Structure 1
Amino acid sequence: MTLLEKRQADGQSTNEILLEEVIGLGRDIIDSLDMDLLRENANLNGESFSGKMSKFGSEYSKWYARSFTMPPQLVKAIKDNVVYVHDLDQYAIGTTNCIFIPFDKLLRQGFNTGNGSVRPPNSIMTAMALTAIIFQSQQNSQYGGVSGSKLDHDLAPYVAKSFAKLFRKGLDYFEEGQAGEDLGEITMSRTDLKERYPRAFRYATKETESETLQAAESLIHNLNTMSSRAGGQIPFTSINYGTCTSPEGQLVIDCLLTATMKGLGSGETPVFPIQIFKCKKGVNQQPGDPNYELFLKAAECSARRLYPNFANLDAPLNLVYYNPADPDTEFATMGCRTRVLGDRFGRNHCSGKGNLSFNTLNLVRLGIQNGTITGLRQAADEEGFYDDLDHYMEIALNGLLHRFRIQGAQKAKASDFMMREGVWEGGETLGPEEQVRELLKHGSLSLGFIGMAECMKAMYGKHHAEDTEVYGKALALVRHMREFCDRKSEELDLNITLFATPAEGLSGKFTKIDSKEFGAIEGVTDREYYTNSFHVPVYYQTGAANKIKLEAPFHDYCNAGAISYVELDGNARSNPAAFVKIIRYALEQNISYFSINHPVDRCSDCGYEGVIGTNCPSCGAHEQEVHIRRLRRVTGYLTGDYQTRFNAAKQAEVRDRVKHL
């Protein structure tokens, strides 16, 4: 019996349910009465006309899925406030979440957006322009993030094309070459050409550097201005780079960092793409490594602009499928933390697949019901907790499987660009009417979790950063969830993975319901939010090294993705050595994916950037007189001013953050 049927059996008609649930919700949207609802997606202006129209469709789609589509047990688990279904509005129509785009293939072969075909590019300027178009086209085929796992490797050939073209032009300019002379493949690493034709080589190098920087600036500007969805939402993009050691690849990395540091038109920090610098021993970690200077520049850029984040290719989890000869086997992320490198069906690389969907478990609720904090029992009921956890993990997983059946039954034409152009590997082999299930099985279905700290507090009176015994119990809990996922992967022959959930819209939802039912329990429900995944609470006083050391072991269990942060006080730009030292320590501790948070404020009056209190230190303008844009990393990515785009729970979390130095 569906939820709708049950409510009808209780005497409510369909029309009464519509009046009760949908019309009231409509008023909240039209009159902007529920700002948290309109700010669920911080990358979208929910108060705009198109944003409200999008929200109408989204909320009705959620209602339809709960009433007519989803398994009743899953609907009840949502009502019990234990399970959360992410992107519920996409459930009934079978959309998938996120993907790593094979840019090398699309740029090499050309592609068709559906409105016209595009030839392969012959320069880096055109290649980066087409990269933005590919990002935008793919964004419309799914609801989550779109990522390039190795953009430096993918774009290097087009730097070479530009260089070769400019070198030949230089030969003509300086009359250094002979007409029709066969020079073979012309690249920036050809020292013989540099010695033989120095002026043409110098000219081509300088012009290629200029063109690549312009192309990088164009890419970043495009990805911050191209709206792809209602509400002015720009594509949720991320790019990974850092390991290509050819002169062309190094130039791509260098120019992306330079363009990011220069900022947008008025010098603003770019919100997208999320940038991830891939750290690898022997490539960019020590003086003498070919890309070491680029690593230092990445740290400088992150200290100025909050990006790039840092992926640790040498962490044990990230070496399982690593093949030095194939950059597509290097660990990469889809922005905030998602990973899909492993595949039980053999596609153990990044490009051409992604995460299909994920559901999140409210660990705090289970901790309250089985713990000591409420005073109902003297000792935590660990057996009862794990029984409840297994029960709800089964329900959450069954929901993912049910959704996968809907996703797999879709025809290839439903995700036209993704399948027709082979963005999802093998999609080009399907006819428009063929179902996509056999291709989607290479993606992942993920169980996520939130509130480890509050769960431990509810169970044992202390969270995992306060007590070594409790820390061991927290680690055992995450291990238990990972073992459940591994076991189900074997039983179901699917990629079931464990996710350290990035809680944006979810952050305050669980808490609001639990605090209403259980009251304000100190250290558990007395704030507006639950702590992200396994993180040490943002309000807990500890040093950067200790926070890193505590969180690092959890990464190895979260094979669907995880990230750790530390918070810096003051202007991070003023102490680059300390910034690099923190990154190095995180890598040494085998944290898989890491970044450093610090305040980046901008005065709209004079353009000053740094740390701004109530008055701009440059022009003296007061925050009530001019807009101070306060940029913060809130859920793994940046979104304009956190005070105007994020929901109340996330704003509260930012206010509570303590500094780790």
Structure 2
Amino acid sequence: MIKVQKRDGRIVNYDREKIVRAIQKANAEVDAAERAGEALIDGILDDVEKDCEDVVHVESIQDMIESRLVKQNKYTLSKKYMIYRYQRALLRKANTTDESILKLIRNENKELAEENSNKNTILASTQRDYIAGEVSRDLTKRMLLPERISMAHEQGAIHFHDADYFVQPIFNCCLINIADMLDNGTVMNEKMIESPKSFQVACTVMTQIIAAVASNQYGGQSVDMRHLGKYLRKSSNKFHRQIREEFGDSLDNEAVEKMARIRLRDELKSGVQTIQYQINTLMTTNGQAPFVTLFLRLDDEDEYIDENALIVEEILRQRLEGIKNEAGVYVTPAFPKLIYVLDENNCLKGGKYDYITKLAVRCSSKRMYPDYISAKKMKENYEGNVFSCMGCRSFLSTWKDENGEYKFEGRFNQGVVSLNLPQIGILAKGDEEVFWKLLDERLAICFEALMCRHKALEGTLSDVSPIHWQYGAIARLPKGAKIDPLLHDGYSTISLGYIGIYEMTKLMKGVSHTDPAGEEFALRVMNRMKEAVECWKEETGLGFGLYGTPAESLCYRFAKIDRERFGLIENVTDKGYYTNSYHVDVREKIDAFSKFTFESQFQKISSGGAISYVEVPNMAKNLEAMEDVVKYIYDNIQYAEFNTKSDYCQECGFDGEIIINEDMEWECPQCHNKDKDKMNVTRRTCGYLGENFWNAGKTKEIKARVLHL
């Protein structure tokens, strides 16, 4: 049997009838005397087939047909056949965005509207970003990526993330070097911003930096809030000085201290409020609020730990209160994401800052944030270091500067390509030999796609985003300098994502990966992917990492493609979604402690990005149980979060869980309101919260979630 290599690299069976149809279409374009009869066509194809090797490229077959038509003096027919080939090539490269853009403008593009639960596609500003994104996707598919990569993406073998931004030389996510920008000043819109002299100004400048950074990248960003401690002290010193100037010696030291504390408390509250309001009301050029994470760590080695304890406490108090919606009711905001670091001084074992952790637990029970990072477990996994993820879950690998010092802030992720593991399981049909062969083939495609991401950034000039490259967010390069040194030698990361460990294991072993037989197989797959990225890192010098994909919309996209291609498969395509990264099936009954213990082993392997969650009911009257889980997190898992429900019905004032009914509609259980414009619903979408509703697959996944506590 002759095999044909397609333009995208796929190997398919030779199809004689397809060639016959192509020649007959050319036949219809020429005079009768010039046409090739059935006998001649059969003879030409017999001749071609004799000359074909076991595997032949599609272009070679077409070249042979053209030459044989010429030998038969069918010059006009040969020319028409050549034109037909050319037209087919043009069709493959044709612009395909018109209909999707028009549907978007008419608010009829349901797929785009549900792609990102934090983007409102009715807004003109968001539509503008989506229109640009549709054009970028189209150019990426037709011209910027090799056809083999585009085809693998279209068939759901892989997902080339953020193709809607690939036409521009911008990257995914970062850890802002906020200390450098605040201490040494920065420049925005060609205006110099000097180092702040107070906490309030530092908060304002920080939010402006966050907005500028978000507008020049497409992923999340994180800020280590410890760097604001020194500015709170500056304000404290300023108030002491002002009070002395105002009252002279008429006040004793105790009175001065008391008055300074009152003024400082007001500024602290105002500054934190500025951060919360600004982040939730600023609109970036991406048509949404900035995807930003505030990293809250109380480090005993921090000289400003007392000030930072006040800042962290105020951030948690204001988040617990919430933000008013348009009806004036306090609701849960999606941003900023909060990460609270558990350490020996606050892990609820008698530490100095346990009182702040108790406040954090209250806040999580009501507003879902903060999430929790265990300094103890993180130090085990990252050479003794504790640092924030970039955005929701993307972690840097360790890297040392020329002085041998670890550096994390001012680094970034170049981009992500994700692997559809369930599809490999479907194709392997339980045969492990086939599975490993397919996995290696798909990993090779992912590597090629990731190198496309990397190559697209090479040669980029610092001028494309001065806030990143020239004024401190990432670096302070000269104008006109190339960013290439920051792309190499592991300074930045580039991520292999994956989805559906549960479904893959179910297909290959017939059991969940929580079953011992399934667990062993799942860990082998995880380690094989880890070996691949380590090998790529060694080969290229680039910072490849293994990343548990958030899969907000991808959980639906992959499942939808596979259902269309392979039909309904129980516990796989029939659900309407695939399970996030290595997570336990959302329907599986497992307690919170067992879930975290089980998933922690996957987090260690997935060091380029991972987060685990437990689903909990309303815990407001049982905070002790949540505190027990937080204690467990500190000793057992690096990065974890609580999912609860925080909804509000604007029709009847119901404050609780708005349900998903049997028709997959959001419905108030009290007044049965189904108008999504008249309710506030916030759910954990991936690592972030979402508040603009979700696609069909993610909605089914949310509905299927069982409680773990």
TM-score bracket, shorter-length normalisation: 0.7 to 0.9
Cα distance in structure 2, aligned partners of 1:388 and 1:565: 31
For 2:83 and 2:573, the matched residues in 1 are separated by 34
Give the stretch that moved more between structures: 26-35 or 269-278.
Answer: 26-35
CA-based RMSD: 2.5
Q: Which residue of 2 aligns with 1:375?
A: none
- Check conservation: 2:149, 2:445, Cα contact below 8 A: yes
Gaps of 5+ in 2: 1-5, 10-57, 60-81, 660-665
**Which residue pairs with 2:678 in the alignment?**
627
**Is the Cα–Cα contact under 8 Å of residues 454 and 523 in structure 1 kept in the other structure?**
yes
State the shift of 1:107 in Å: 0.9
Is 2:367 the partner of 1:305? yes
Q: Distance in 2 between matches of 1:80 and 1:121?
A: 52
Going from structure 1 to structure 2, the CA distance change for 1:531 and 1:540 (only over 3 Å counts) comes to same
* Paired-residue identity, %: 28
2:491 corresponds to 1:445: no
Distance 2:599 2:307 in 1: 37
- 1:484-533, Cα deviation, whole Å (9 max, x unpaired): 11122112111110000000121211111111111110011101110000
Counterpart residue identity of residue 126, structure 1: V
Match of 2:322 among 263, 281, 286: 263
CA–CA separation in structure 2 for the residues paired with 1:167 and 1:45: 47
Q: Which of 136, 151, 154 is residue 227 of structure 2 equivalent to? A: 154
Aligned equivalent of 1:129, options 184, 200, 204 = 204
Other structure's SS at 2:108 match = coil
Following the alignment from structure 1 to structure 2, what is the Cα–Cα distance between the partners of residues 344 and 382? 40
Q: Does structure 2 conserve the Cα–Cα contact (< 8 Å) formed by 1:54 and 1:230?
A: yes
Question: Relative to structure 2, which stretch is displaced further, 438-447 or 284-293?
Answer: 284-293
Asked if the contact 2:619/2:626 (under 8 Å) is kept, the reply is: yes
Partner of 1:336: 392
Q: Is 1:573–2:631 an aligned residue pair?
A: no
Counterpart position of 2:535: 487
The amino acid across from 2:382 in the alignment is: V
Among 356, 359, 362, the residue aligned to 2:420: 362
TM-score with structure 2 setting the length: 0.82
2:293 counterpart letter in structure 1: S
- Which string of whole-angstrom CA distances, capped at 9 and with x for unpartnered residues, describes residues 69-106 of structure 1? 11233223223321101101222322111111111111
Q: Report the counterpart of residue 106 of structure 1 in structure 2.
A: 181
| 1:412 corresponds to 2:462 | yes
Matched position secondary structure for 1:202: helix
Q: Which residue of 1 aligns with 2:452?
A: 402
Q: Which residue of 2 aligns with 1:431?
A: 478
Deviation at 1:198, TM superposition (A): 0.8
Shift of residue 286, structure 1, vs aligned partner: 3.7
Query: For residues 609 and 347 of structure 1, do their structure 2 counterparts lie closer, same or farther at Cα, with a shift above 3 Å needed?
Result: farther
* Residue of structure 1 in register with 2:269 after alignment: 213
> Which stretch shifts more, 69-78 or 205-214?
69-78
Q: Which residue of 1 aligns with 2:248?
A: 175
8 Å CA contact retained: 2:100, 2:109: no
Query: Which residue identity is paired with 2:141?
Result: R
Aligned to 2:596: 548
> Which of 548, 552, 572 is residue 524 of structure 1 equivalent to?
572
AA aligned opposite 1:211: E
SS at match of 2:620: helix
Number of equivalences: 615
Q: How does 1:176-195 map to 2 (within 5 A)?
A: 176=249
Mapped to 2, the partners of 1:26 and 1:3 lie a distance apart of 27
* Alignment partner, residue 56 of structure 1: 131
1:252-308, Cα deviation, whole Å (9 max, x unpaired) = 111111111121133221211000001112x21144423221111111111111111
Moved more, 25-34 or 596-605: 25-34
Q: Is the 8 A contact 1:600 1:631 kept in 2?
A: yes
Change over 3 Å in CA distance of 1:340–1:532 after alignment to 2: same
Counterpart of 2:689 in structure 1 is: 638
Secondary structure at the aligned position of 1:449 is classed as strand
Are 2:307 and 1:251 equivalent residues in the alignment?
Answer: no
Match of residue 21 from structure 2: none
- Determine helix, strand or coil for the equivalent of 1:167: helix
- 8 Å CA contact retained: 2:348, 2:631: no
Structure 1 range deviating more: 40-49 or 247-256: 40-49
Distance 2:94 2:298 in 1: 57
Instruction: Classify 1:468/1:342 alpha carbon distance in 2 versus 1 (closer, same or farther; 3 Å).
Output: same
Q: Distance in 2 between matches of 1:615 and 1:77?
A: 38
Deviation of 1:218 (Å): 1.4
1:631 is matched by which residue type in structure 2?
T
Distance 1:262 1:9, change over 3 A: farther
Matched, 1:473 2:521: yes
One-letter code of the match for 1:629?
N
The runs of 5 or more residues in structure 1 that have no matched partner are 179-195, 323-328, 372-379
1:242 aligns with 2:297: yes
Query: Which residue of structure 1 lines up, in the alignment, with residue 406 of structure 2?
Result: 348
TM norm structure 1: 0.88
- Residues 497 and 603 (structure 1 numbering): CA distance in 2 closer, same or farther, change over 3 Å? same
- Give the C-alpha shift of residue 603 in structure 1: 3.0
Residues in 2 aligned to 1:357 and 1:230: alpha-carbon distance in whole angstroms:
17
Output one character per residue of 1:526-559: Cα deviation in whole Å (capped at 9) or x when no partner: 0111000000111112222222222111000011
The residue identity in structure 1 corresponding to 2:696 is A
Query: Do the aligned partners of 1:278 and 1:332 also contact (CA within 8 Å) in 2?
Result: no
Partner AA of 2:627 in structure 1: V
How far does residue 586 in structure 1 lie from its aligned partner after superposition?
A: 2.7
Structure 2 vs 1, CA of residues 225 and 316 (structure 1 numbering), >3 Å: closer, same or farther? closer
549 and 288 in structure 1: CA distance in 2 versus 1, 3 angstrom threshold:
closer
Aligned with 2:525: secondary structure? helix
Q: Is the 8 A contact 1:344 1:494 kept in 2?
A: no
Structure 1 counterpart of 2:706, one-letter code: V
Q: Which runs of 4+ in 1 moved over 4 A?
A: 1-11, 13-20, 316-319, 344-347, 605-608, 612-617
What is residue 584 of structure 1 aligned with on the other side? 631
Are positions 1:381 and 2:431 aligned together?
Answer: yes
